[in-house]
Amino acid sequence: VQVSVRGTGKPAAALLLEEEQFRFAKRMGCILGGAAGIATAFSAPIGALLYMLEEVTVASWPQELTFRAFVCSAVAVVFCRGLLNFQGQDVHRLVIFEEVYGGYREREWIDVFFFILVAAFTGAYAALHT
């Protein structure tokens, strides 16, 4: 017995298969896009691949995706560097903390007390939440 979807004439099983393929393609697109974005932001294609392996469970990570993610992230880095070189910009323009910053000052030993105080309050707050 074949059940067809109303008005299309296609079997329901084929429609279900198309939905599964679409979900798979959408998941792979998100993984590749995430790897390319991280690689571009940090100029590190291998780091992006390792980050994506960490974020996506290994059970849902096909083996052929490893090569695709590396190629996608490497192409993204090369393309980004090419665009920045074409515009005469440096890669450091993508990073929030530029080398030349007007408000930068050297840290002093008195600042260490402030960092320890912030770390203590953050640790106590985290301990209360968990």
Q: pLDDT grade, residue 8 (50/70/90)?
A: low
The residue length of the chain stands at 130
Strand partners, 11: 4
List the Cα angle 4/17/69 in 5-degree steps.
160
Report the pLDDT value the prediction gives residue 1, as an integer from 0 to 100.
Answer: 44
pTM over 0.85: no
Report the pLDDT value the prediction gives residue 59, as an integer from 0 to 100.
Answer: 66
- How many of the other CB atoms lie within 10 Å of CB of 48? 26
Q: Cα(62)–Cα(46) distance, rounded to whole angstroms?
A: 17
Q: What is the pLDDT of residues 71-92, one digit of tens each?
A: 889 999 899 888 888 888 776 6
CB distance 48 to 73 below 8 Å: yes
